[in-house]
Structure 1
Amino acid sequence: MKAAALLLLCLLSTAALAVEPGERLAPWTLLDQFDAPYTLNDQTRILLVAHDMDGAKLVNAALEDKPKGYLDERQAVFLADISRMPSVIATLFALPKMRDYNYRILLDRDARIAPRYQAGESEVLWLQLEDGKLVQQKVFKEAGALKSALEAVEP
């Protein structure tokens, strides 16, 4: 009985964290792959969130031929939840590879930010923001669709 109550409490607390349209996103600060801080602010128009490596690969595929600053021009940022990645793997392999990318990756190493934004496995969550408030959210499961959506955003 206690286990069922605990499970219910966990599910309710997760649902309470979900962001709804019209809601203001709480500001947060994370480091990117170069250890440079980024703070979510009212100028951010698009927040892309991936909770796993497959989701991150979708973003990478959508941006692979784009010039440096492509996301910045669109006032977009990419948040990657790397909390499940062993720190040794992250330090020795993943971070050096991420430093080769021509876009910023905000790294949620402790799963303190990404769980606020519900995205499934192998998906990228797109949060469309205006003045810090959520206007719309979309889910992408294909790199081509994500690439097209980013291309439709005027810099």
Structure 2
Amino acid sequence: MKKLILAMGMMCAMAANAATLTQGQSIPTFELQDQNEQLQQVTAETRTLLFSRDMKGGEIIQESLESMGDKIPADLVYVADISGMPGLIAKFVAIPQLQKLPFAIALDREGQATAALPSQEDKAAVIKLDGLKMVDIQYYESADSLTKALQP
């Protein structure tokens, strides 16, 4: 039974990787609730999409945005896929902690809206958009390098 579950998990991971969007492709518009239950949208006006699929990537983005204070660009949207987090941990631990942050984090609780977005383990993804077309994708391993990349 364990082998079957492991094999199914590997097939799902391979299917997800096969469907990952790449530079030059367009992402669909979508909206998600943030940590304060406000709607956040990724639209044609979004120029920078910060994306994390794991805790380390999220920590890098959060540290970077906290250091930027009120200098966060208005056309930037931060999206986090928290679908892998156990529901009770998300509800009673993670989201209350995120509510203390001074910026919005669009939370993909189901993993469907962000399933095709590119990511790398333990890294923060910066996806530059032009009318929803991905014109550049970069990955960052530290908050300092991310902060430098986000400055005009």
- TM bucket (normalised to shorter chain) is 0.7 to 0.9
TM-score by length of 2: 0.85
Instruction: Name which of 63, 66, 86 aligns with 2:65.
Output: 63
Question: Once the two structures are aligned, what percentage of the paired residues are identical?
Answer: 26
> Judging changes above 3 Å, is the alpha-carbon distance between structure 1 residues 21 and 61 closer, same or farther for their aligned structure 2 residues?
same
> 1:71–1:77: 8 Å Cα contact kept in structure 2?
no
How many matched pairs?
147
Aligned to 1:142: 142
Please tell me the residue identity of whatever aligns with 2:46.
T
The separation in 1 between residues aligned to 2:91 and 2:68, in whole angstroms, is: 26
Relative to structure 1, is the Cα distance of residues 72 and 37 closer, same or farther in structure 2, using a 3 angstrom cutoff? Answer: farther
Matched, 1:44 2:79: no
- Matches of 2:79 and 2:49, distance apart in 1: 7
Bigger mean CA offset, 8-17 vs 37-46: 8-17
Structure 2: how far apart are the matches of 1:100 and 1:11? 33
Distance in 2 between residues matched to 1:27 and 1:61, nearest whole Å: 26
Is the 8 Å Cα contact of residues 68 and 147 (structure 2) preserved in structure 1? no
Q: How far does the alpha carbon of each residue in 1:3-53 deviate from its partner, in whole angstroms, 9 at most, with x for none?
A: 8xx899756633442222222211111111111112211000011111111
User: Aligned partners of 1:114 and 1:131: how far apart in 2?
Assistant: 17
- Residue equivalent to 2:101: 101
CA RMSD between the two structures: 2.2
Do structure 1's residue 116 and structure 2's residue 136 form an aligned pair?
A: no
Q: Are the structure 2 counterparts of residues 92 and 14 from structure 1 closer, same or farther at C-alpha, using a change threshold of 3 Å?
A: closer
In structure 1, distance between residues paired with 2:58 and 2:9:
29
List gaps (5 residues or longer) in structure 1: none
Letter in structure 1 aligned against 2:79: L
Q: For residue 115 of structure 1, give the secondary structure of its aligned residue in structure 2.
A: coil
* Residue type of the alignment partner of 2:88: V
Deviation at 1:114, TM superposition (A): 2.4
CA distance in 2, matches of 1:8, 1:67: 40
How high is the TM-score relative to the length of structure 1?
0.84
Change beyond 3 A, Cα 1:36–1:133: same
Q: Would you identify which runs of 4 or more consecutive aligned residues in structure 1 move more than 3 Å?
A: 6-13
**Amino acid paired to 1:35:** E
Name stretches of at least 5 consecutive residues in structure 2 with no aligned partner.
Answer: none
